[in-house]
Structure 1
Amino acid sequence: MNRDRTDLTDFVRSTVIPGGPIVVLESTVIAQGLPWPDNLETANRMEQAVRHAGADPATIGVLDGVARVGLGIPEIERLARPITAPPGIVPRNAIEPAQGPIRKANRRDLAAILARRGSAATTVSATIWLARRAGIDPCVMATGGLGGVHRGAGTTFDVSTDLDELAQASGSVVICSGFKSILDLPATLEVLETRGILLVGYRTGELPAFTSIGSGLSIEHRVDDPTEAAEMIRWHRRLETPGAVVLVQPVPEAVAIDRDEMESALDDALREAANLGVVGKGITPFLLDRIRQATSGKSLRANMALLVENARLAGEIAVKLADR
């Protein structure tokens, strides 16, 4: 990918040069992870949380064959809004939706989408890759739940490219609420260790399970405030080890879902996915939608809340890292 096909908005360019604090945000959560119009509300709240912490947000996506690092409000609306938005809930002054579908782009998909001048929301792997190519390297990123080893991967070999990118994103840090609960969490932890990705709990010694507070799986390392987190990240960068840091923060307790309830909803969703033959990139949004229905919207509210909290924490840590 040539750098002339990577568009930096003025605020990102002006922040990158002096080394100011930036938080990178993915866009699949906007286009595929949350329903309309909750996706637009959450994207805006995440950016506001980063700014409130004193950092600049840089939401990343691909529009009309240009990889954009630091989307503006109209561009975020374009990713968020369905091609045909339901009547009566179109935001005032909203621009036209994207021409054609907004695809879900992993790192491997970027060249094909750019060559066809297409539009896509970027996953964690594509977002980190584009941020680093644009000069935000190492980067601080916030998201909800990371990808990992899918259940049944011994047969399907379904392992997220997030893990590959994290294994080579030296010095970068991703603040999240663990890994999506649809995954094989013990297997994902084993792959993290094998690939040299440092996993650290934020005020917890237990791996969060996305929209549930805990998974029952312990994690070895812990920090309890942004200053302590930043110091640990600085040491990680000094050592120049290849992998990124994954800092996991539990979902806010007020909106957390009971783990047994989540597992029951997930089991039903997995059976339906198998019956319908849903695989590949489509499996995650399918399962999350079915879980949202089964939990009467509780999983959606939890997902929205943890995304904003992770963006806030990422902003605080980015500010600490920039304060030398």
Structure 2
Amino acid sequence: MTDFAIQYGEHVLHAHQDGKPVVALESTIISHGLPHPDNLRVAREIEQTVRDNGAVPATIGMIGGQVVVGLDGDQIEHLALAKDVAKLSVRDLAIAAARRADGATTVAATSAIAEAAGIRVFATGGLGGVHREANLTFDESADLTELARTPIVVVCAGVKSILDVGATLERLETLGVSVAGYQTRRFPGFFITDGGFDVDWQLDSPEQVADFIAAREAQGTSTGALVLANPLPTGEQLDPALHDRTLASGLSLLAEENVTGKAVTPFLLSHFHSSTEGKSLEVNIRIILRNSALAARIAAASGKGAAGPVGFSAP
């Protein structure tokens, strides 16, 4: 019978054995978030950024039905180049494994797998959330419900500005997900520094975030994630006027072409890329590199390596 247990890259196994801090990384940015050849180049830059800031990268994905925590270089290249890589949320993992699929993990799936692997810090670009007009479509990302039950620190640039940011913050509050701005009390809007909403809490250093991790574990009262919103400096954001024009035209096209469900986000991100002549792509890359650096510093400050559940084995 096939062994579907999570497998681990050699570098993650060694990190576990040596007690080194580990940062989880998603793989949808490789297969669905960035065009080739930027996807492969940036995937390598992300991992190197984590290393440069004192932690071990663990890019998570599925190869031939096998979930791997800590993809190696060849596996990352495979996901970057393959044409039929599935986009995997949590509900898809077992089905994709049964079909021996190649898959890239979303925020929700990466969070769940990282938690199973004992990894407590995860870097991504922006979260999924409540879609615009969700009162009619009921379209909400599975990221939200997964973060409600997964005690992980997610370093991100807020939620993608193509979504309903205010409604997403309301849902996170209802679901009991902690939200804090990193050195700010304003919630970022992914491409733009200020998404237009306040947050209740601010954390100012990797050490303060490490204290949050320690306090949550000591208190034992919270099972949800911390969304640590790390905004771009204003000088590095997408021009807000350009952002607003592009978003408006993208939403119009979305309605004209009747794009729905999980196709909405890649459709709008592609529109941003083409309409801004690549400026949004440059911003997207800056976001993930900055978040990866901060996540590594948090993991190093907290001393949180992979906890090493039963079943650690190399692929």
**Residue of structure 2 equivalent to 1:282:** 263
1:231 corresponding residue in structure 2: 211
Partner of 2:310: none
Unaligned 5+ residue runs, structure 1?
82-97
Please state if 1:322 is matched with 2:299: no
Deviation at 1:251, TM superposition (A): 1.8
Q: How far is the alpha carbon of 1:274 from its aligned partner?
A: 1.7
The residue aligned with 2:96 is 113
**Is it true that 1:128 corresponds to 2:111 in the alignment?**
yes
Task: Provide the C-alpha distance between the structure 2 equivalents of 1:168 and 1:307, rounded to a whole number of angstroms.
Answer: 24
Give the letter aligned to residue 129 of structure 1.
A
Does residue 6 of structure 1 match 2:6?
Answer: yes
CA contact (8 A) 2:22 2:304 kept: no
Contact 2:4 2:97 in 1 (8 A): no
Equivalent residue for 1:78? Answer: 78
| Alpha-carbon offset, residue 77 of structure 1 | 1.1
Q: Name the amino acid aligned to 1:305.
A: R
**Could you say what secondary structure the match of 2:198 adopts?**
coil
Distance 2:235 2:53 in 1: 22
Q: Aligned-pair RMSD on alpha carbons?
A: 1.6
* Structure-2 change in CA distance of 1:18 and 1:4 (3 Å): farther
Mean Cα deviation higher: 179-188 or 72-81: 72-81
Return the alpha-carbon distance in structure 2 between the equivalents of residues 4 and 152 of structure 1.
39
Distance 2:19 2:107 in 1: 22
| 2:178 corresponds to | 198
> Structure 1 vs Structure 2: percent identity of aligned residues?
43
Amino acid at match of 1:51: R
The code of the aligned residue for 1:254 comes to G
**1:50 partnered with 2:50:** yes
Regions of 4+ moved over 6 Å: none
Q: What amino acid sits opposite 1:26 in the alignment?
A: E
Equivalent in the alignment of 1:309: 290
**Does residue 37 of structure 2 align to residue 23 of structure 1?**
no
Partner of 1:219: 199
Matched residue of 1:112: which SS? helix
Alignment coverage as a number of residue pairs: 303
Does the C-alpha gap of structure 1 residues 70 and 244 become closer, same or farther in structure 2, counting only changes over 3 Å? same
Secondary structure of the 2:155 match is: strand
Within 1, Cα distance between the matches of 2:208 and 2:114? 25
Question: How many angstroms apart in 1 are the aligned matches of 2:102 and 2:228?
Answer: 30
Correspondence for 1:248: 229
**More contact order relative to length (CA 8 Å, sep ≥ 6):** 2
Q: 1:23-61 deviations in whole A, cap 9, x for unaligned?
A: 000000111011111111111111011101111000000
CA distance in 1, matches of 2:256, 2:61: 33
Would the aligned equivalents of 2:156 and 2:230 in 1 still touch at CA under 8 Å? yes
Q: What code does the residue aligned with 1:233 have?
A: I
Matched, 1:266 2:247: yes
SS at match of 1:5: coil
Counterpart Cα distance in 2 of 1:63 and 1:119: 5
2:82 equivalent to 1:102 = no
* Number of the residue aligned with 1:91: none
| Native 8 Å contact 1:24 1:57 kept in 2 | yes
Structure 1 partner of 2:157: 177
- 3-state SS, counterpart of residue 74 of structure 2: helix
State the alpha-carbon separation in 1 of the partners of residues 195 and 238 from structure 2: 12
Mapped to 2, the partners of 1:320 and 1:111 lie a distance apart of 34
Shift in Å at residue 4 of structure 1?
4.1
8 Å contact kept, 1:104–1:281: no
- Tell me which residue corresponds to 1:162: 143
**Cα deviation digits, residues 270-318 of structure 1 (max 9, x gap):** 1112211211121111100101111121111000011001000000000
Segments of 5+ residues of structure 2 without an aligned counterpart are 306-315
Worse-superposed segment, 9-18 or 280-289? 9-18
Q: Distance in 2 between matches of 1:247 and 1:283?
A: 24
Deviation (angstroms), 1:18? 5.0
Classify 1:210/1:3 alpha carbon distance in 2 versus 1 (closer, same or farther; 3 Å).
farther
Per the normalisation by structure 2, the TM-score is 0.92
Query: Take 2:21 and 2:304, find their aligned partners in 1: how far apart are those partners?
Result: 9
